Structure 1
């Protein structure tokens, strides 16, 4: 950083640090803060309105500005000149931050210097990061776009690349153009940071130290958040950032799973109606198109159910739970095309592949029955 104003106010006491996110930032300050900005909050203001807000900030006895010039437009250049002139007139120091240094690196450093203990720093940093994360989900943000923005924002806040993977370790979102391949090493130790929620991570070392957070959605699906220490080691304050990020991800991933579950149930209902003959001819054609079933293809339908020795146990919650377990087992051994549960019954629609020998399907089915002891 370099000082770009005169040094007359360089000895002002720093009592806090904030990123300017709104023109009326003075309404959110306690006084004595060091303010970080690239001036986007003032972009829609003219000089007179900006000076009005700067006067209000000065009344809060702010300690100074750290600025980053991201856009080189005529209007922003004019606002930048207005800021520097105002600060020199009122003895407020202005420092310029290089483009490759994150505001969050500055915030972490400042908090470590001004806070009486790490507990206070953690509390303040938690508030700042949660406010930042909440912006990605403001209004009617589209889930996919919000998650993508969050993953990219996390890289800026943590100073390291971040990626999200599904249960099969397929990359869904990444803060880099070339995502790191996820692989969880055997016997990797658990790591619990010294913060309030104490989320548990997997810590492992491949090319770099990696932290992996498993995100479980109601026991139905799993996701993995990967942070790689490529640029700098994570510190306790970084895990506070992750604490808020995981909560936000959980919220949106639950929404995703709910939508997928509703769609899956809808498709299964249509499949069942097609198989039991309750659709008209015109409805069959519509449903077949929706389910991507081709009239010229050949299909096999396999149906089986769990029979209880006690009639009272039929259709019970325990039996439905066991049926779900069997359904998951079927998906491990057989092609994942069309399979669904109907109370205590599992129905599987298998599409014949002309390019492969039918024996492949027969062999897979026999292996499944043998391992699961199905007659």
Structure 2
């Protein structure tokens, strides 16, 4: 007979243990040992194991569900069940009654140990008694692999899956574990002291004594409560979806990390990659679902009040609230960008908006980002204008930190009451975006621009035009002559005319703005007068020319 349950109970480690039930089975041989961290681990048990559990793995099980797990356990014929109580578990008394019934019926020993006794110590000790060193590694790999696989298969892992994996790993290795994203922001941790992390310049590559698919580094850090003490910290990089990186960090606050611990880390990394992939896929699916709903609302494709209420509920917004639509896009200066870059930069814009604009609904729409913002109808327009300018400047700063020549532009529709009127605000926002290069206010950062539809005045009427012939009716013949003038000189003359009118026919400011000599500016204005016959002393004619310049710019944008 090999190592038995009686031999296990005779160990010094079990001096404070209490055999609750199943004394008749203490002569059974132990052929393995497994920690239960998920109910689905029952699938991976082959029989003859000692099972270690704090019952918190069964926290969310009803007594009936728990009974079915124990029934599956009975079929496996395990050697013993080692439990510890201390955490709050729903229906604890009912579950303990099920365990007692199982133990007495199958003569399976059930042993209770003190709450503070670590399972990892029991697991390592039993393995040393029944396996050789090489087999211990293989068995421990299977044990940790089975636990993380069972967790992935568990229905309950759908909630806080990443945190649960990190928690289990920390229990297995007896040291704090944390997960950081590529910006080194903490995503999950088991120790509040390990919420900040940086890769030290002297961090060295660390080689395991077995083959690994991952690269490890080791560095030394200090904790705030013990600044004089250096402790080891291991980090392993995870490559997840879309080339994003994450870092799993193990800190040696309790004891040095050993080879068995790295086996658990390896399996945790695999489980984390699967969970992060699952979460990313679900997020993409949810985003696509919400995007379709937003598209229907923005474009007025909801045909009944019942459908409107359903869609607003799914989107998480109120039917009767007041809203304003903001359409964002990017200016690229003189640079040309291809489709891939457009998608990339629009996603950067989307992320910046999400950070600076809390509690709004956001949708990517080709090269634009559309925002549905709930607003307070009692708020003054001037307050809103000031706030929006500040937010756009912050978005500009975030975007420019990625690529400095990107320029944020925002077109803003009027406030509407009720979700059914959102399409009109959406049209106004997109119309404002079309006029932004012509009429938009340049923000204080001198890069971003804002155009609020209610500020457009008479130019709102031009938004209704889409046919080039209709538009040409608003361009005076004098200006048409300039647009048909010699191609080589035409652009300089048009730019000079536009700048001259913007500066209220001030030649000095026109020359300064265009970086040309005063006499050059005066000559160009004289030349424009000769070509077009514009009477700059006639306010009505000057107004019609200014409108005509806007219409010509609109036609250029439509052609693009």
TM range (shorter): 0.5 to 0.7
Deviation at 1:20, TM superposition (A): 8.9
Higher RCO structure (Cα 8 Å, ≥6 apart): 1
Contact 1:133–1:245 under 8 Å retained in 2: yes
Equivalent residue for 1:272? 295
Aligned pair partner of 1:36 in 44, 50, 54? 50
Q: Deviations over 1:328-358 (max 9, x none)?
A: 3444555573332222333234455749764
Distance change in 2, residues 1:350/1:81 (3 Å): closer
Equivalent residue for 1:91? none
Taking the TM superposition and a 5 Å limit, the aligned residue runs for 1:88-99 are 99=115
Q: Deviations over 1:38-96 (max 9, x none)?
A: 69999968xxx99x969xx8xxxxxxx8x745478693797599568xxxxxxxxxx99
Taking the TM superposition and a 5 Å limit, the aligned residue runs for 1:1-375 are 3=10, 17-19=32-34, 36-37=50-51, 68=82, 70=84, 75=100, 79=104, 99-108=115-124, 121-138=136-153, 140-144=155-159, 149-163=164-178, 179-180=192-193, 182-185=195-198, 187=200, 189=203, 192-194=206-208, 195-201=210-216, 203-207=219-223, 209-213=232-236, 215-219=238-242, 225-280=248-303, 282=305, 283-289=307-313, 290-293=315-318, 295-304=320-329, 316-332=339-355, 334-335=357-358, 337-352=360-375, 354=379, 358-366=385-393, 368-369=395-396, 371=400, 372-373=404-405, 374=407
Bigger helix share: 2
Unaligned runs of 5+ in 2: 1-7, 13-28, 56-65, 86-95, 224-230, 408-448, 450-560
Secondary structure at 1:233 match in 2 = coil
Cα distance in 2 for partners of 1:303, 1:26 equals 56
Q: Deviations over 1:309-332 (max 9, x none)?
A: 999x76x34432333233334445
Unaligned runs of 5+ in 1: 6-13, 30-34, 58-64, 85-94
Secondary structure at 1:279 match in 2 = coil
Contact 1:192–1:199 under 8 Å retained in 2: no
Contact 1:212–1:224 under 8 Å retained in 2: yes
Cα distance in 2 for partners of 1:365, 1:24 equals 54
Equivalent residue for 2:91? none
Cα distance in 2 for partners of 1:126, 1:116 equals 14
Deviation at 1:107, TM superposition (A): 3.7
Equivalent residue for 1:62? none
Equivalent residue for 2:60? none
Cα distance in 2 for partners of 1:44, 1:300 equals 56
Secondary structure at 1:136 match in 2 = helix
Distance change in 2, residues 1:267/1:171 (3 Å): same
Q: TM-score, normalised by structure 1?
A: 0.65
Cα distance in 2 for partners of 1:186, 1:146 equals 26
Q: Deviations over 1:139-184 (max 9, x none)?
A: 6454116555544432331123445567787876665xx7445101
Cα distance in 1 for partners of 2:364, 2:43 equals 56
Deviation at 1:217, TM superposition (A): 3.4
Count of aligned pairs between the two proteins: 334
Contact 1:4–1:96 under 8 Å retained in 2: no
Deviation at 1:263, TM superposition (A): 1.3
Deviation at 1:115, TM superposition (A): 6.8
Q: TM-score, normalised by structure 2?
A: 0.46
Distance change in 2, residues 1:38/1:222 (3 Å): closer
Secondary structure at 2:301 match in 1 = coil
RMSD (Å), alpha carbons? 5.1
Deviation at 1:359, TM superposition (A): 1.8
Cα distance in 2 for partners of 1:145, 1:332 equals 22
Answer with 337-346 or 179-188: which moved more.
179-188
Distance change in 2, residues 1:110/1:159 (3 Å): same
Deviation at 1:130, TM superposition (A): 0.9
Contact 1:160–1:231 under 8 Å retained in 2: yes
Cα distance in 1 for partners of 2:304, 2:106 equals 73
Secondary structure at 1:347 match in 2 = strand
Cα distance in 2 for partners of 1:181, 1:113 equals 36
Cα distance in 2 for partners of 1:23, 1:340 equals 44
Distance change in 2, residues 1:201/1:361 (3 Å): farther
Distance change in 2, residues 1:345/1:112 (3 Å): same
Distance change in 2, residues 1:338/1:226 (3 Å): same
Secondary structure at 2:152 match in 1 = coil
Cα distance in 2 for partners of 1:98, 1:284 equals 58
Distance change in 2, residues 1:361/1:206 (3 Å): farther
Distance change in 2, residues 1:190/1:352 (3 Å): farther
Q: Deviations over 1:234-254 (max 9, x none)?
A: 212111101111211221222
